[in-house]
Structure 1
Amino acid sequence: MQISTTRSTETVSDERLAEVLADPGFGVHFTDHMFRVEWTPDAGWHGARIEPYGPLTLDPATAVLHYAQETFEGMKAYRHADGSVWSFRPEENAARMARSSQRLALPVLEVDDFVQAVQALVEVDERWVPDPAGEKSLYLRPFMFASEAFLGVRPAQHVTFMVIASPAGSYFKGGVHPVSLWLTEEYTRAGRGGMGAAKTGGNYASSLVAQQEATAHGCDQVVFLDAQEGKYVEELGGMNMYFVHADGRIVTPETGTILEGITRASIKELAEKLGHPVEERKFSIQEWKDGVASGEITEIFACGTAAVVTPVGALRWDGGEVATPEGGGLWSRLRQALVDVQYGRAADDFGWMKRLV
């Protein structure tokens, strides 16, 4: 793409930026600029530009507001000790967005263009990338939406792709701790043939009431079962799952109706490198309960871009609870191995990192 750049005349001061980066939180502060490119059937993708960060002006009839035709990604940029800035497997985010876009009847932005857009924004707002202390990073949010003003039910004829960025602190304040999970037996996340494998806002919107149910029962996250039989574990509201067995093998629920997490795929490769074969298959909630009770399951953990890897402490449901054994700390070794690669503290044997600046 040919990308034009219009720099902001009202950038955040160095003093204020230092305050933000000292304690960035998550998703509350945004960089000085954003990336935008638009699509129409006749012109294709056109008008690629970096411009000052600011509000969007949308017609009340903008299609995304009525029919939720949109996709998004979540990824990070990491500052290394030498000052360089890197991203983690951006081509995989691009490929997943392409799959999501196809499922939502949106135009596909090619992988190279996606990566170029992300890199262009990071280059302009490089000063917003925090130092790596405390696992700080720059969170990147590419997203695509139906921007045509039209109320007919059909794929939009005007689409906008954007990238915004927000400095982020560690997901866990005070260190990683086990999460408690609530098993919802009323709500499901996605059915066969649905949008479960797409990263689209509707999947997250549908999880919110179940997350409220989990919170009301004193739990951190919600566990969804399959929509067809209601007995197979799928994923959490925002993370994939792994079950470690006594013989060292690991089981993770198969894809099809769940999001194909990039952290999930990376953990699989790291685990196998450490001598832990990973099975992707249907995994029932009864197998979970029985495996913990018998000692067959020695450890359970969840993973995602924001939290990286976190251990599971307990599973609760209406009328019962099962506590997860502490296990051998495989989750911790995998987490450390992954973040060491991301922050440049360990060799990138898999070729996962791409330098941005």
Structure 2
Amino acid sequence: MSSSVETQFLNVEFTQEEYLQHGRRFYVCIHADEKEMPFEKWTSNLTEVNACSNGITVDLTPPTPGTVNVDGLTDGYFQISKTYVAMKWTDFTDVEEEGHTPHQLGISHYEVALGSVPGGQDVVKFTNVGSVDHYTLHSLHLHSGNTYYVSVKATDFVNMTTAAVSKGFLVDSTAPVLTGQLVQLEGRYITSRVVHVCWTNVFLDEESGLKEYMVSMGTRPAYADVSENVITDQDCLDFDTLNNVVDGHSYYFSLKAFNGAGLYTLSSSRLLTVDTTPPSTGHVYDGVQSAASNDDKDKDYITSASEMAAYWEGFDDPHSNIAMYKVKVGTCAGCDDKLEEIEFGNTKKHQPPAHPALPWSEVLHHSDSL
């Protein structure tokens, strides 16, 4: 459209609304013919003028919302800090991004807020942060165990706004706690290469939960100088010592329990001593110990058909001591046809029931205190 005016300004009324299409750009161009302007004592020659404005864009809609993320989260959900929240956002766009306006970006400024519900601002009200694409809120007083949301509001150059909200994130600033339960082990000794260890109900984390455990074995609590750390999410583990333990030496199992935020608490087991060897073999003698002498310890004959006796010595275990002896009696070495094997406690002599007119062979098995 065109018109002629005598003034230095122009107001244009669009009578046809179809001209006002979102994103459409309009320019104002002027033309003035060459003209001579007479004055009292001279004449000024005004040259022809042709000029256009830099244009104006029709913007009828708010910006397109982008994506808001919280930085520094563990597993995309957990945050340790209670005093700050770092955020960034992308892909907020407006008509300016089509390249038809003098602004490089279509957003005039951004505002950020923090709340306990999506879109809420009960923690930090919307604050103008300029035209940046990231920001950090400081000096906060967040509560461990609560979930929070970041909101970002974008305002374009015609003061239309749009907002986007981050996913919720949970604050957990505390490590798992110890319940008082002990690490569970089978016995007091390590008797094989693989040791079964459990830590059921040893740790508790009510905020972000228990994610995984790091299990180690060492010569002191919290040490891992026997084998490499093992990571598991189970409550029990068959731990392979890789035969790096030494008989007679003592070791500890140590566990680090990690929560969802990546914080951990340590607990160690009681002392375990390695004993993978049986007691040393001693000597078994026929007869009553009180009647024996240094020259006659073992009887070859007995004069009673109603009873017999035996005693033993020299059995030893340097790592776990002798816990019990097992005795059986038979008519041949290793047989138990006269007395099946019984546990005999820790005494070193035995008098089994009699069986007349039969030779006896007494066999002793010894067990250490495993």
TM-score range, shorter chain: under 0.3
Normalising by the residue count of structure 2, what TM-score does the alignment of the two structures yield? 0.20
Q: Select the structure that is richer in helix.
A: 1
Q: Which has the larger radius of gyration?
A: 2
Normalising by the residue count of structure 1, what TM-score does the alignment of the two structures yield? 0.21
Q: Select the structure that is richer in strand.
A: 2
Higher RCO (C-alpha under 8 Å, 6+ residues apart): 1
